Chains A and B, each alone.
Chain A
Amino acid sequence: MVDAYAGDGSRTGAAARLLIVDDNKVNRLLLTRSLELLGHRVATAQNGRAAVDAMRHEPFDLVLLDIEMPEMDGFQVLEQVRGDLALRDVPVVVTSSLEGLDNVVRCIELGAEDYLTKPVNPVLLKARIGASLEKKRLRDQQKEFVRRFAAPEVARDLQESGFALGGKRVHASVLFADIRGFTPLAESQAPEETIELLNTYYTLMFDAVAGHGGLVSHMAGDGLMAIFGAPVGLSNPGDAAVRSALEMIEMIELFDVEQRSAGKPEIRIGIGIASGEMVAGYTGTNARATYTCIGDVVNLASRLEQHTKEARRAILIDAATRETLLSSLSPESLGAVALRGKTQPVEVFAL
């Protein structure tokens, strides 16, 4: 069980929420007192199991962990925390009077942020807690940057697998979308209006992609590229990509109704989708990289998107994507088409 909230965190602006885990009441009281005097808010748990439950129940900024405990000891807590994606960034400072340097080493190897021998020296406690909280703050900030500047799927992939340049073969679908006649449109209005139009357009497109499990990997001018099936696998990437495309078209039609009533120019988009094996991963440099995919399939999707102009159709897909579609959709065959950059004619379908 976890004792009820205790403590007054209002003493300083930098109050943190801390969890003290110790089976010994004297130790618990003394640590609670020391931390409250430092201005932190404190909760306590009497064994490892209660501690892990508490951590899953509410976010803590830092955990002070004893090792020798009944039910679940501190080593087991460290193992559980390290294996739990939601918990593993919470710094754990071990406070123990364990005998043997090997035990200290084991704690550090299991991911403990620091080790303090009991009875804990108050000055040392303050310094270590301060340093750990500062590191946590920087890590949180980094995560926030990743969250803001990377797609959620990429952020999750980065958090789970870490960052490494290089790709792996995946079976996925790629979607290219582009605004038809964007250049004359941009020239006919003030740049501010064009930015506003693009922002609305991208908001709608991102929604349509994310809503079907896809990932927008590139934006350039008025065009975007989206991947379905990587880095997060999808049971049917082709179908997801096509449904996303249909939603895009629907969104743009609704947007055009608004544009029309506001006396502003309407827009049209063209979409190309191709499916198959490709290489997906991070490309760039260690300092700046982007998640993308590369391969013939990607080129084909881009060519299909360009061909929507000549074919005068909103959505064009390849045969592999057509194969994956559920029966409710019935694409029309446009036959074998000679696409730019392709030596052989390619079977094209329109929706």
Chain B
Amino acid sequence: MQTTIDQATFDELKETAGADFAVELVDTFLTEAPVMIAELHRAFAAGDAETFRRMAHSLKSNGNTFGACAFAAMARGLELGGLASVRAEDGAPLDALDAEYARVAHALTELKGG
């Protein structure tokens, strides 16, 4: 099974940007991501394809930054698949993203503490 956060990616981030800064960046992500995910849900409900794609794109980008590979892959799936891909599975991909985010948030919180 894939780890939630790729340790090597996260370590590299800490090394190049500084440990303190990495903590600040994680905190920013933990504040911003729930807002983007909520916006993703809203866009799905409203049939707003443009916002849906942009939010998924942004979450993918941030996921890659922290080494949240599974999370980033799911967000990428939403970016490429669009509203239709979520409708086809009756909202399941969005639920999966929510669940993966919970794991990512937990793992990042642990990592920044350590």
A118 with B25: CB separation less than 8 A: no
Q: Which residues of B contact A160 (CB under 8 A)?
A: none
Residues of A within 8 A of B54 (CB): 23, 68-70
For A24, the chain B residues whose CB sits under 8 A away are 32, 58, 61-62
The reply to whether A29 and B62 contact each other, CB–CB distance below 8 Å, is no
Chain A positions within 8 Å of B60 at CB level: 97
Q: Is A122 positioned at the interface, with any CB of B under 8 Å from its CB?
A: yes
How far does the Cβ of B32 sit from chain A's closest Cβ, in whole Å?
5
A27 at the interface (CB under 8 A from B): yes
Residue of A nearest to B67 (CB): A119
Enumerate A16-38 residues with CB–CB distance to B below 8 Å.
23-27, 29-30, 33-34, 37
The docked-state distance in angstroms from the alpha carbon of A154 to that of B65 is 49
Q: Is A99 an interface residue (CB 8 A)?
A: yes
| Chain A, 61-104, CB within 8 A of any chain B CB | 68-70, 97-99
Q: Report yes or no: B79 in contact with A118, Cβ–Cβ below 8 A.
A: no
Do A25 and B17 touch (CB < 8 A)? no
Contact B32 A25 (CB under 8 A): yes
Q: Are A30 and B61 in contact (CB under 8 A)?
A: no
List residues of chain A with CB within 8 A of the CB of B62: 24, 26-27
Closest to B72 in A: A97
Bound CA span A41–B29, Å: 24
Contact in complex: B58, A30 (CB < 8 Å): no
Nearest chain A CB to B56 CB, angstrom units: 10
A99 to B17, CA, bound (A): 26
Q: Are B58 and A68 in contact (CB under 8 A)?
A: yes
Q: Contacts A25-B32, A26-B29, A68-B54 given: A97-B17 contact, CB under 8 Å?
A: no
A98 — which chain B residues lie within 8 A by C-beta? 57
Q: Is the CB of A33 within 8 A of B21?
A: yes
Provide the main secondary structure of the chain B interface: helix
Q: A37–B32 contact, CB under 8 A? A: no
A26-B17 in contact (CB<8A)? no
Decide: A26 and B25 in contact? CB cutoff 8 A: yes
Whether the Cβ atoms of B57 and A97 lie closer than 8 Å is yes
CB distance from A276 to the nearest CB of B (A): 59
Instruction: List which B3-45 residues lie within 8 A (CB) of chain A.
Output: 16-18, 21, 24-25, 28-29, 32
In the bound assembly, the distance between CA atoms of A119 and B54 in angstroms comes to 16
Tally of contact residues, A, Cβ under 8 A:
19
Known: A34-B17, A122-B16. A97 touches B64 (CB 8 A): yes
Closest B residue to A28 using CB positions: B28
Smallest CB-CB separation from B62: which chain A residue?
A26
B32 touches A27 (CB 8 A): no
A97–chain B nearest beta-carbon distance, Å: 5
B99 interface residue (CB < 8 Å to A): no
CA distance A325 to B58 in the complex (A): 65
B29 to chain A, nearest CB (A): 5
Q: A29-B24, A99-B79 are in contact. Are A118 and B29 (CB under 8 A)?
A: no
Residues in B with CB closer than 8 Å to A33 are 17-18, 21, 25
A26 to B16, CA, bound (A): 15
Given A37-B17, A70-B54, A97-B57, A26:B64 Cβ within 8 A: no
Task: Answer whether residue B80 sits at the interface, using C-beta atoms and an 8 A cutoff.
Answer: yes
Taking CB atoms, residues of chain B closer than 8 Å to A30 are: 17, 25, 65
Name the B residues within 8 Å of A23 (CB-CB).
54, 58
Interface residues of A in 255-300 (CB under 8 A from B): none
Q: Shortest distance in angstroms between A314's beta carbon and chain B's nearest beta carbon?
A: 71
A29 touches B16 (CB 8 A): no
Contact of A97 among B25, B53, B61 (CB under 8 A): B61
Q: Could you mark each residue 308-345 of chain A with 1 if its beta carbon is under 8 Å from any beta carbon of chain B, else 0?
A: 00000000000000000000000000000000000000
In the complex, what residues of B have CB within 8 A of residue A97's CB?
Answer: 57, 60-61, 64
5 new A-B contacts, CB < 8 A, other than A30-B25, A99-B80, A119-B64, are: A26-B25, A26-B29, A26-B32, A29-B24, A68-B53
Which 4 A-B residue pairings sit nearest by Cβ, starting from the closest? Answer: A119-B65, A97-B61, A122-B16, A24-B58
A-B contact pairs, 6 of them (CB 8 A): A26-B29, A30-B25, A33-B18, A68-B53, A99-B76, A99-B80
